[in-house]
Amino acid sequence: MKRLLVYLRAYKKESILGPLFKLWEASFELIVPLVMAAIIDTGVAAADRGYIMRMCLVLALLAVIGLTCSITAQYFAAKAAVGAATELRHALFAHIESLSYSELDTIGTATLITRMTSDINQVQNGINLFLRLLLRSPFIVFGAMVMAFTVDVKAALVFVVTIPLLSVVVFGVMLVSIPLYRRVQTALDAVLGLTRENLTGSRVIRAFGREREETEKFRERNRVLTSLQLYVGRISALMNPVTYIIINAAIVALVWTGALRVDGGAITQGEVVALISYMSQILVELVKLANLIININKSVACWNRIAQVLDIEPSVRDAAVGQTVCAAGDGGEMVRFSHVGLTYANAGDAALTDIDFSAARGETIGIIGGTGSGKSSVVNLIPRFYEATEGQVCVGGVPVQDRSLEELRGMIGVVPQKAVLFAGTIRENLLWGNGQASEEELLFALQTAQAGELVESKEGGLDYRIEQGGRNLSGGQRQRLTIARALVRRPQILILDDSASALDYATDARLRSAIASLGRDMTVFIVSQRAASVQHADQILVMDDGRVVGHGTHEELLAGCTIYQEIYDSQFAQTKAKGVQG
């Protein structure tokens, strides 16, 4: 919890003034029973209406002052809580952005969204309640007991017995409920994860007619969450009735003791009323304190979940050392893999084993293989989306670990397997590649990506608005725009990670021809399952089970690589058959 105070550092004034004004309000509230006792013992007993009116004005004045203090305290507490939550949200988002693909894969998107939203909101509520009530409630509880002793010592002994009993109940419920709230948040993660999966995969679910099964799965996870919430809710609900029983028993004892003391002339009737008022104040404040503790427990559980993410050390760190030239590097080499291996986090087997090749500046490298053969894993090591667990990856003759991430990724244009576009105009999406690009550069990139006619056909052209995720575009249109976005950067290395899978063969061929015409300064990596997409590459890597099982040109691999022959024959068999029949 000490780490949470870091985010309140900029709100020291508000964090002090909020509780301070609450204590002032509580002090005025403790005076009210004494004023009531004076009205009963002096005004009512003597039938002095003037005195009663004056004391009523005093009560009204205390109420106005207390309300002013309460509003002021609420303002400062809310300002500190919202400000600290904002700082925490910024820090968490920045930390998530620093994590590599390995950490993001391990944690999962659903739980990160939960911690970024509902968990931080719960922490914000906890800070607000902490600043407003954590000092006020104990202050009134013990202040009421002290004031009761100033009225009558023997009658106040009831308070000495009541307060420890109430404390046992409150803190007992707290100790039981803390771990349960953690389980509730975990169950909530499961529900959110399934919800996100179903929403993103709704078309697949409908295509396979799995609506009923997915609904049942959601109902089951929601039932687990509901049962946990009901269980912890029942435990928390015990607090109010048990505290009311103790308090009402204490009031009965107080009235009994007070009656005997009044009958003996030790105290007045007004003082008995004051004692009962103090006991009622204790009741109200302890109920508040109980609810406060429950909410703070939730906030602590949420903070611990946020801290778990903040404690994760990124496996990919920015370069902090000078550049070191690769031992095997030379001036013409752009990318070199030296016996590289990769094992994903929590994975039993290696995803890549002994990958060894080099790509000269301006070369086109094709990577082909079956699903799960490791094609994307290879190209993801170049911009350090993942860190190689064995061997060394060099870019421009320098190990990728010795380049700053900004410099390294500034050299590379990546088009991922899944075409991702953001809500906004086509222009805004293209400018992600280069924020300073002119309109001519944007149009040139679109023409190269075979998306020129697409933009011209849209109302507004470059200012046509894309919905979130590119929902108002087809798969091929999204892919062409993401390729154009990468080309706007004018990268030294262009990675096309199966990014033309939604394009027809003719468009794919025109795209590759247009990219080849850009010149020999750009090294291109084409990852594909289509032999036609890679057959004109300068080098082709054939992947199988994380290993390079073939390396050479199209002609060399057709002559000497069985797996490449099988891929090529399976894709061109129909064409060959038609040629024979003709």
pLDDT tens track for 123-173: 999 899 888 888 888 888 888 888 888 888 888 888 888 888 877 887 787
Residues 6 or more apart whose Cβ sits within 8 Å of residue 401: 319, 384, 387
Residue 352: which of 128, 508, 515, 545 has the closest Cα?
545
pLDDT at 461: 87
pLDDT band at 573, cuts 50/70/90?
A: low
What is the rounded CA–CA span in Å between residue 71 and residue 375? 62
What is the rounded CA–CA span in Å between residue 236 and residue 214? 33
- The region of weakest confidence among 39-43, 316-320, 433-437, 527-531 is 316-320
Between the CA of residue 402 and those of 112, 355, 359, 386, 405, what are the distances in Å? 30, 20, 19, 15, 9
**Mean pLDDT across 530-541:** 89
240 SS3 class:
helix
Check if the beta carbon of residue 382 is closer than 8 Å to that of residue 495. yes
Provide the 10 A C-beta neighbour count for residue 479: 28
- Report the chain's mean pLDDT, rounded to a whole number: 85
pLDDT at 511: 87
For the chain, the first-to-last Cα distance in angstroms comes to 78
pLDDT tens track for 26-39: 888 888 888 888 88
pLDDT band at 196, cuts 50/70/90?
A: confident
- Give yes or no for residue 426 having a pLDDT over 50: yes
pLDDT at 367: 93
578 SS3 class:
helix
What is the rounded CA–CA span in Å between residue 167 and residue 286? 9
pLDDT at 494: 92
- Residue 492's Cα: distance from chain center in Å? 34
pLDDT at 246: 85
pLDDT band at 581, cuts 50/70/90?
A: very low
What is the rounded CA–CA span in Å between residue 235 and residue 147? 33
Q: Which two tokens stand for residue 124?
A: 């914000």
Residue 427: which of 453, 445, 406 has the closest Cα?
445
Residue 291: which of 245, 236, 248 has the closest Cα?
236
Alpha-helical (H) ranges within 425-561 are 426-430, 439-448, 452-457, 475-488, 505-516, 531-534, 554-560
pLDDT at 152: 82
DSSP state of 437: -
**Mean pLDDT across 188-204:** 85
Alpha-helical (H) ranges within 364-451 are 375-380, 405-410, 426-430, 439-448
Q: Which carries the bigger pLDDT value, residue 310 or residue 293? A: 310
pLDDT band at 331, cuts 50/70/90?
A: low
Largest CA distance in the chain: 124
Q: Which two tokens stand for residue 192?
A: 């959110």
Give the domains, in start order, of the chain with CATH numbers.
Answer: 2-310 (1.20.1560.10), 316-411+493-500+525-582 (3.40.50.300), 415-490 (3.40.50.300)
pLDDT at 350: 87
pLDDT tens track for 141-150: 888 888 888 8
Check if the beta carbon of residue 483 is closer than 8 Å to that of residue 417. no
What is the rounded CA–CA span in Å between residue 94 and residue 85? 14
pLDDT tens track for 220-264: 999 999 999 899 888 878 877 887 888 788 888 888 888 888 888
Provide the 10 A C-beta neighbour count for residue 90: 11
- Give yes or no for residue 3 having a pLDDT over 90: no
pTM reported for the whole predicted model: 0.71
pLDDT band at 325, cuts 50/70/90?
A: low
pLDDT at 519: 67
- The region of weakest confidence among 283-292, 391-400, 477-486 is 283-292
Between the CA of residue 524 and those of 161, 337, 499, 550, what are the distances in Å? 80, 15, 13, 19
pLDDT at 329: 45
pLDDT tens track for 66-117: 899 999 999 999 999 999 999 999 999 999 988 888 888 888 787 888 888 8
pLDDT at 580: 41
pLDDT tens track for 350-388: 889 999 999 998 899 999 988 888 898 999 999 998 889
Residue 543: which of 574, 498, 506, 502 has the closest Cα?
498
pLDDT at 582: 41
pLDDT at 173: 78
- Give yes or no for residue 431 having a pLDDT over 60: yes
pLDDT band at 579, cuts 50/70/90?
A: very low
Strands 539-544 and 398-399: unpaired
Residue 78: which of 37, 43, 126, 38 has the closest Cα?
126
Q: Using DSSP, how many helices (H) and how many strands (E) does the chain show? A: 22, 12
- The region of weakest confidence among 171-180, 257-266, 490-499 is 171-180
- Give yes or no for residue 578 having a pLDDT over 60: no
What is the rounded CA–CA span in Å between residue 309 and residue 296? 20
Residues 6 or more apart whose Cβ sits within 8 Å of residue 413: 433, 486, 487, 489, 491, 493, 494, 495
- The region of weakest confidence among 44-58, 145-159, 328-342 is 328-342
- The region of weakest confidence among 25-39, 171-185, 460-474 is 171-185
441 SS3 class:
helix
536 SS3 class:
coil
pLDDT at 277: 86
pLDDT at 328: 45
Check if the beta carbon of residue 343 is closer than 8 Å to that of residue 351. yes
What is the rounded CA–CA span in Å between residue 273 and residue 275? 5
